[in-house]
Amino acid sequence: MKPILGLGIGKIFKTLLLGLSLCGLALASGAQAAEGSAGGLVSVEVWQEGVFETVGELQREAEPRTAAGTVSTYERIRLLRSTLSLEARKGATFGCRERVKAGVARPDGPMHGVEMRVLHPPMRTPDGRVQTVSTAAIDWFFEGGVARDDVMYTLSEDFEVLPGRWTLQLLLDGQVLASREFTLR
């Protein structure tokens, strides 16, 4: 299962598809674009971005570094529309999918130190806090030198439905490797 951020940052970022996954801009058409690398260890390429839907069961877990206080994991996700602009409405899931390539030979299995981060409009949480950043730790799982990741955010709570600029980022050891700015209207 993949994460989402929010009460849904499933490790769909909501899981920022942290949950958090906190996703230059590639073309809204979904064209591939090289994003960044971490000292030759990995390179990241965004291959899809826009509005998505989750498929299958969502599972939520506590994540205090998100505005909603949780991240969700999902079985699968499907692109509905390639865009960087969408309506701010409850239930909307948006973000990007990345292909991560190892720059050096590495064994199959997990890589730690990865984080999804979402920069969002000021959000007042049910406990009265105001947050502009939500983050969630994730692991990449390499197979044959390649890992796939989703940085998604789902507006699952009324207090999350905010118009404005939302920036989803993917970080490794604090270095931004991929970033997408979405406009919610």
Q: Where are the domains of the chain?
A: 2-24+48-96+109-140+150-171
What is the structure's pLDDT at 96? 95
Q: How far is CA 81 from CA 28, 78, 94, 114, 147, in A?
A: 9, 9, 10, 27, 23
What is the structure's pLDDT at 60? 84
In the numeric block, the tokens 């406009």 are attached to: 183
User: Average pLDDT over the chain, rounded to whole?
Assistant: 80
Rounded Cα–Cα distance for residues 178 and 60 (Å) = 25
Lowest mean pLDDT among 1-5, 63-67, 127-131: 1-5
Rounded Cα–Cα distance for residues 155 and 93 (Å) = 7
In the numeric block, the tokens 């230059």 are attached to: 24
- Classify residue 101 by its DSSP letter: E
* pLDDT category of residue 37 using cuts at 50, 70 and 90: low
pTM of the entire predicted model? 0.78
In 114-143, which positions are buried (b, 16+ CB within 10 angstroms) versus exposed (e)? bbbbbbbeebeeeeeeebeebbbbbebebe
What is 2-24+48-96+109-140+150-171's CATH number?
2.60.40
Q: Hey, CA dihedral for 53, 59, 65, 67, is it positive or negative?
A: positive
* pLDDT category of residue 57 using cuts at 50, 70 and 90: confident
Q: What is the mean pLDDT of residues 55-79?
A: 84
Q: What is the mean pLDDT of residues 116-145?
A: 93
Q: Please name which of 6, 13, 183 lies closest in space to residue 97, comparing C-alpha atoms.
A: 13
